[in-house]
Amino acid sequence: MPQYTAPINDMQFVLHDWLNLSQHYQSLGLEDFDQELVNEILTQGAKFASEVIAPLNREGDEQGAKLIDGAVTTPDGFADAYQEYVANGWNAMLGSPDYDGQDLPNTMAVPVHEMLDSANLSWRLTGMLNESAILAITKHANDELKKTYLAKLISGEWTGTMCLTEPHAGTDLSLLSTKAVPNDDGSYNITGNKIFISSGDHDWTDNILHLVLARLPDAPAGVKGISLFLAPKFLPKEDGSLGPRNTVTVGSIEKKMGLKASPTCVMNFDGAQGFLVGEANNGLACMFTMMNDARFQVGLQGLGVVEASYQGALEYARERLQSRAPQGIQEQNKKADPIIHQPDVRRMLLTQKAIAEGCRALALLYAQQMDIERFGEDTDKHQAKNVISFLTPIVKGFMTDMATEMSNLGVQVYGGHGFIREWGMEQLVRDARITQLYEGTNGIQALDLISRKLARDKNNMLADTFALFSSKIAPMTNAQAKAQATELLAEWLETATTLKQQNTVDLAGCAYDFMHYSAYCLLGVIWLSMADTAEKSKVASIKSGKKNTCDFYIKRLLPRKELFKTNLFNGADDLVEFTDSEFDYQ
């Protein structure tokens, strides 16, 4: 199995050269953060990801998580690695300083998270969801709940989960039936069953806090009658120590296609004591704080898989000898040439590279907007929030679709060996597949983008996103590339503006096409901007590599947008008029 190496040089280029983090931090009043600190975090994060987490990946997949006598155990080394992660302060990077968090900018934490996703997706998932739980509790819980739970979540002493899905209620949460009955002491008894709960139980920490959606007895029907509750595995005493076991149990561990080392649990709440988070019947809004963060994080998982697959494919292509290159013998001292000299293999590798580096830049541009939303002035915060809202379904949907496509390319480069477990590439395909499904399937992401973020919005999200990408074009010095980027972005804006005038059914019919059309256009702008920045780089591999990869993207990947664009204005008649009986062969 190939050894993961964090792409620090590319991360540094994007952060320092393209995003100009030093200026970014100064504009936000974050003078204590500088390039030296960023580089140190990247270096230490890379060391932890490659030396501690990555070696656990394959064996974790082989062992899987197990449920024994009602308790979940994770593969050998997973819990120890988590303790090291917590001891080194990685879990507290984004936490509030009021609860012993480090309050680092997202642009510092996100690269480390990408490294962990590439190194071992199963291991990363528990910490990822814990960060989302921290965010929800920070924004919505009362002071008493924050005092009791937040510091322990931020430190990593305890972890959190997100309990939404029920056997009969997935995306449509209006069907949710879990009940919450009030007690005289202000707590609630929660009864119901939840499925697909990532890290619902594990052996990493003494306590696990479940954020659970449930209905109060007098709740209105539909999504307006959902409340959010915190139900701990163990109820803490006043001094913070663990008290009695709550009536929360694991029914089973799901048998999955991938992510086998991560315990995905069926959770049973049998009158479990819970505490209201936020206002009654406003749970969905509270949960979306957690879910939207998780959607970005899942997009980052997609990027992590793309990078891992690219690294594995590149290493194999350099070593595998097979035939002679069509352009002539490349290595006279060998019986055959490495397959990296084959044009079609290069096509696959360059596709992976262009998508990995383009998506990384998009993710870090997104992280920069997260910094502004947290630390910026009110007007800037509002604009950043609009951009984040618009880009979230694109980041989640497109990056995870690319994870499946690019990991399959990785298998293809290996040929038959890619289909064999010991090489590690088929695991990436299996692990990647869930990213297109959880936190809302990618069809749901596309529908959210085209209906809520485009059609129902008063052009604010679209306009602010256009303004952000325009700001990346403005400083470009290559006149031809600048004109190309300007034209591409203008086309995207005009297309989106025209599209939003269509009826609801036609919009739903082309939602997926619009998500991908937008992604390819925006990545095209990003690539042209990055290549322009790289022209000034003193690092030869960056200067030439970015230009040539940009040329490849513009020539071979950007044209994909035309297929998606065509489908945007074809209507949905062919979809909705196809009768149910016509699906059958009989």
Per-residue confidence (pLDDT) for residue 585, from 0 to 100: 79
The catalytic position among 439, 491, 535, 582 is: 439
Residue 441 has what pLDDT? 96
The Cα angle at residue 550 between residues 546 and 556, in degrees rounded to 5: 145
Q: What is the pLDDT of residues 267-281, one digit of tens each?
A: 999 999 999 999 999
The span from the CA of 18 to the CA of 219, in Å, is 50
| CATH number for domain 8-143, candidates 3.40.50.2000, 3.40.50.2300, 1.10.540.10, 3.30.565.10 | 1.10.540.10
Distance between CA atoms of 150 and 130, rounded to whole angstroms? 11
Task: Find the DSSP H helices in 216-282.
Answer: none
User: What are the φ/ψ torsions at residue 189 (nearest 5 degrees)?
Assistant: -100, 120
Task: Give the number of other Cβ atoms within 10 Å of residue 305's Cβ.
Answer: 29
The pair of three-digit structure tokens given for residue 42, joined into one six-digit string? 């990247």
- Rounded to 5°, angle at Cα 6 from 259 and 295: 45
Rounded CA gap, 386 and 395, in Å?
14
Task: Tell me the pairing of strands 188-198 and 264-277.
Answer: antiparallel
Q: Which amino acid is at 295?
A: R
Euclidean distance between CA atoms 104 and 85, whole angstroms: 16
SS3 for 269-287 is EEEEEEEEECCCCCHHHHH
Of the candidates 404, 390, 433, 405, the residue with the CA atom closest to the CA atom of residue 522: 390
Whether the Cβ atoms of residue 159 and residue 130 lie closer than 8 Å to each other: yes
- The pLDDT assigned to 175 comes to 84
β partners of residue 234: 245
How would DSSP label each residue in 345-367? HHHHHHHHHHHHHHHHHHHHHHH
Instruction: Respond yes or no: is residue 439 known to be catalytic.
Output: yes
CA distance 166 to 276: 20
Which residues make Cβ contacts (< 8 Å) with residue 50, sequence separation at least 6?
Answer: 3, 4, 5, 6, 115, 119
Contact 517, 495 (CB under 8 A): yes
pTM for this entry: 0.97
Indicate the pairing of strand 159-163 with strand 208-214: parallel
27: CB partners within 8 A, 6+ apart: 376
**How many Cβ atoms sit within 10 Å of the Cβ of residue 253?**
19
Report pLDDT digits (tens) over 319-333: 999 999 999 999 999
Chain-centre distance of CA 203, in angstroms?
24
Asked if residue 404 lies in contact with residue 432, where contact means CB atoms within 8 angstroms, the answer is: yes
Confidence at residue 173, expressed as pLDDT on a 0 to 100 scale: 78
Residue 164 sits at φ, ψ, to 5 deg, of: -110, -60
- Strand 264-277 relative to strand 208-214: parallel, antiparallel, unpaired? unpaired
Note the pLDDT of residue 180: 97
User: Using an 8 Å Cβ cutoff, are 319 and 129 in contact?
Assistant: no
pLDDT at 256: 96
The answer to whether residues 259 and 125 touch, using CB atoms and an 8 Å cutoff, is yes
CB 365 within 8 A of CB 357: no
Q: SS3 for 423?
A: helix
**Taking the CB of residue 93, how many other CB atoms lie within 10 A of it?**
21
Residues 6+ away with beta carbon under 8 Å from 392? 292, 295, 296, 445
Give every residue of the chain whose pLDDT is below 50, as ranges. none
The pLDDT value given to residue 355: 98
Q: What is the pLDDT of residue 253?
A: 97
Cα dihedral 483, 485, 490, 492 in deg (nearest 10):
150
Note the pLDDT of residue 171. Answer: 74
pLDDT of residue 35: 95
Residue 335: phi and psi, rounded to 5, are -70, -25
pLDDT for 174 equals 77
Taking alpha carbons only, the member of 15, 8, 3 closest to residue 371 is: 15
| Burial category of 134 from C-beta neighbours within 10 Å (exposed 0-12, middle 13-18, buried 19 and up) | buried
As given in the structure block, the two tokens for residue 249 are: 């149990």
Distance between CA atoms of residues 30 and 21, nearest Å: 10
Give me the CATH code for the 159-281 domain, please: 2.40.110.20
pLDDT given for residue 168 in this prediction: 85
Tokens of 470: 């325009």
